[in-house]
């Protein structure tokens, strides 16, 4: 989206849409699921878990980090990744608010 187009949306809408976009690849969903099973891991853990090359996994980690889903901390010469719980809760709250609004309307649409 160009700068002029995003000016019409709130920061929250832009942030949540970037988070949703990051979920648009099954490898990223698999990475999040792995991080939920083991609260922190390094890229090599994911290389052993997923059928992807290390550079590919690193690129997916970068996308998830840029979207706010994960955070990383340096441990020695490796980066340890974990789920950003605040981001997960913000996304959950957004989906819950959509569900709440949907339950309040009665429609015979489609």
Q: Contact 74/63 with Cβ under 8 angstroms?
A: no
* Residue environment code for 72-103, b if the CB has 16+ CB neighbours within 10 A, otherwise e: beeeeeebbbebbeebbebbeebeeeeeeeee
Q: Contact 47/54 with Cβ under 8 angstroms?
A: yes
In-domain check, residue 8: no
What band does 40 get if pLDDT is binned at 50, 70 and 90?
confident
Name the residue range of residue 95's domain: 13-104
In-domain check, residue 7: no
pLDDT in tens, 78-101: 888 999 999 999 999 999 999 888
In-domain check, residue 20: yes
Tell me what pLDDT residue 104 has.
78
pLDDT in tens, 8-39: 899 999 999 999 999 999 999 999 999 998 87
In-domain check, residue 18: yes
pLDDT in tens, 101-110: 887 786 666 6
| Residue 72 DSSP SS3 | strand
CA distance 23 to 8: 23
Say what the pTM is.
0.83
In-domain check, residue 25: yes
In-domain check, residue 39: yes
């Amino acid at each position: 989206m160009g700068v002029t187009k995003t000016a019409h949306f709130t920061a929250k809408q832009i942030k949540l849409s970037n988070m949703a976009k990051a979920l648009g690849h099954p490898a990223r969903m698999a990475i999040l699921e792995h991080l939920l099973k083991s609260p922190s891991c390094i890229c090599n853990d994911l290389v052993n878990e997923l059928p992807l090359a290390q550079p590919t996994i690193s690129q997916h980690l970068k996308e998830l980090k840029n979207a706010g889903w994960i955070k990383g901390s340096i441990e020695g010469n490796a980066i340890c990744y974990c789920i950003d719980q605040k981001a997960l809760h913000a996304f959950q709250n957004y989906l819950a608010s959509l569900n709440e609004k949907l339950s309040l309307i009665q429609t015979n649409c489609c």
